[in-house]
């Protein structure tokens, strides 16, 4: 069996994702689609609107064959680390290709990689200014600037693939209609951004959502608890107000004196959005601040995140018969540890950060996220 890989968040799964899944198999002729999906905390520093088990079920019903979790220590990172974690897992699982959506699939990403500085010391510690720094170098060198989020992420897939020996055939496809951060669902369209769909779901605008998502997603949004930052705000405020600055300084991605600013603005902030507005500056982007807030809420220190990134793993969330057969085919050759459930030993050691992240999510979601949860086995799909 041959497999094609996808790196996703499905927050929530919509028609654009369904198109992506269908095109991935069509373009590659693969027998199995392997989806690496973020868990309950996402790349832009926010909680998933539906938990990872609900989103796994939707992915299986949409036609994905095997879903594995992108660990929290990669899922909540800037683009180059997010990409590296996903590409490492797909490479370990023996996938032949990676299909991903981008705003400009005609860009020659491999050629653009030659525009990187000869020494990448300035980019070694990837932070919120990386994209600006890199785009400056790229503009000067090639006249091209990667200003769209998925163009930059696509470029990072090429960098990650190079890092792991170029074992994946990379296939960019055009994103369908909606811009990544469109705030509203466009009338008479079959496609909408995840941002617009989440906003509509929070407002229970089901008639707007219905044309742009599979029926299963609509049903899930209508019947499951929907999580937002507002739910976790009291816990975050408590962390920021009570922790010593010396402790907060150790939080992942907290640097350059940001710990002082976050503690100060938390005193007066009345909501998560208010906290972001008060902390925002030319130096700190909203995305950077949201990732820092996520790390602070989950108490993820820079030291433990960096240690965990050197010990990636394959955590299976779900599969159908095809995915199960493929997993059986490759598991003896896996170069990363394979986990199908978290027991008491793993929650304290190998999977400690994901277990911690799941427990915090459970405080709002109310559903067990990790301990003794087994992968979902499904045989259904959408059309």
Report the share of the chain in percent with pLDDT over 70: 91
pLDDT for the residue 383: 41
Which of these, 217, 308, 210, lies nearest to 11 by C-alpha position?
Answer: 217
Q: pTM for this structure?
A: 0.93
Q: Which fold has domain 3-107+146-226+310-377?
A: Rossmann fold (3.40.50)
| 288 labelled binding-site residue | no
- The set of residues, in sequence order, having a beta carbon less than 8 Å from that of 228 and lying 6+ positions away, is 46, 47, 49, 198, 202
| 7 labelled binding-site residue | yes
Instruction: Count CB atoms within 10 A of the CB of residue 168.
Output: 21
Dihedral of CA atoms 37, 43, 44, 50 in degrees, nearest 10, equals 30
Q: How far apart are CA 210 and CA 218, in angstroms?
A: 6
| 80 labelled binding-site residue | no
Q: How far apart are CA 214 and CA 367, in angstroms?
A: 24
| 277 labelled binding-site residue | no
For β-strands 97-102 and 66-70, DSSP reports them as: unpaired
| 165 labelled binding-site residue | no
Domain boundaries, given as residue ranges, for the chain: 3-107+146-226+310-377, 229-307
| 16 labelled binding-site residue | yes
| 18 labelled binding-site residue | yes
pLDDT tens column, 300-324: 999 999 999 999 999 999 999 999 9
| 10 labelled binding-site residue | yes
pLDDT for the residue 122: 47
| 215 labelled binding-site residue | no
pLDDT tens column, 13-35: 999 999 999 999 999 999 999 99
| 278 labelled binding-site residue | no
Helices and strands (DSSP H and E) totals, the chain = 19, 8
For β-strands 3-8 and 32-38, DSSP reports them as: parallel
pLDDT tens column, 336-362: 999 998 888 888 888 999 999 999 999
Please give the average per-residue pLDDT across 257-262, as a whole number.
94
């Amino acid at each position: 069996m041959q497999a094609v890989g996808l790196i996703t968040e499905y927050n929530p799964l919509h028609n654009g994702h369904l198109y992506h899944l269908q095109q991935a198999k069509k373009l590659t002729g693969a027998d199995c689609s392997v989806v690496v999906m973020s868990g309950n905390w996402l790349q832009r520093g926010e909680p998933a609107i539906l938990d990872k088990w609900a989103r796994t079920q939707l992915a299986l019903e949409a036609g994905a064959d095997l879903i594995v979790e992108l660990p929290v220590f990669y899922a909540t990172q800037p683009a180059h680390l997010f990409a590296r974690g996903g590409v490492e897992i797909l490479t370990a699982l023996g996938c032949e290709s990676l299909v991903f959506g981008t705003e400009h699939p005609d860009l020659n990403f491999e050629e653009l990689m030659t525009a990187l500085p000869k020494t990448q010391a300035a980019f070694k510690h990837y932070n919120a200014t990386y994209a600006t720094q890199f785009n400056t170098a790229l503009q000067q060198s090639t006249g091209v600037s990667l200003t769209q989020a998925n163009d930059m992420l696509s470029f990072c897939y090429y960098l990650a693939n190079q890092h792991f020996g170029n074992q994946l055939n990379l296939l960019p496809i055009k994103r369908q209609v909606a811009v990544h951060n469109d705030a509203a669902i466009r009338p008479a369209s079959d496609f909408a951004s995840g941002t617009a769909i989440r906003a509509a779901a929070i407002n229970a605008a089901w008639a707007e959502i219905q044309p742009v998502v599979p029926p299963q997603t609509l049903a899930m949004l209508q019947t499951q608890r929907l999580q937002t930052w507002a739910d976790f705000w009291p816990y975050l405020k408590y962390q920021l107000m009570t922790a010593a600055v010396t402790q907060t300084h150790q939080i992942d991605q907290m640097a350059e004196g940001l710990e002082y600013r976050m503690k100060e603005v938390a005193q007066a902030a009345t909501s998560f959005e208010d906290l972001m507005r008060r902390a925002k500056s030319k130096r700190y982007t909203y995305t950077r601040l949201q990732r820092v807030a996520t790390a602070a809420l989950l108490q993820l220190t820079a030291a433990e995140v960096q240690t965990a990134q050197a010990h990636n793993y394959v955590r299976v969330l779900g599969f159908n018969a095809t995915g199960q057969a493929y997993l059986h085919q490759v598991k003896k050759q896996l170069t990363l540890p394979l986990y199908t459930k978290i027991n008491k030993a793993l929650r304290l050691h190998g999977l400690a950060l994901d277990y911690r992240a799941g427990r915090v999510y459970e405080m709002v979601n109310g559903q067990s996220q990790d301990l003794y949860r087994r992968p979902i086995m499904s045989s259904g799909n959408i059309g």
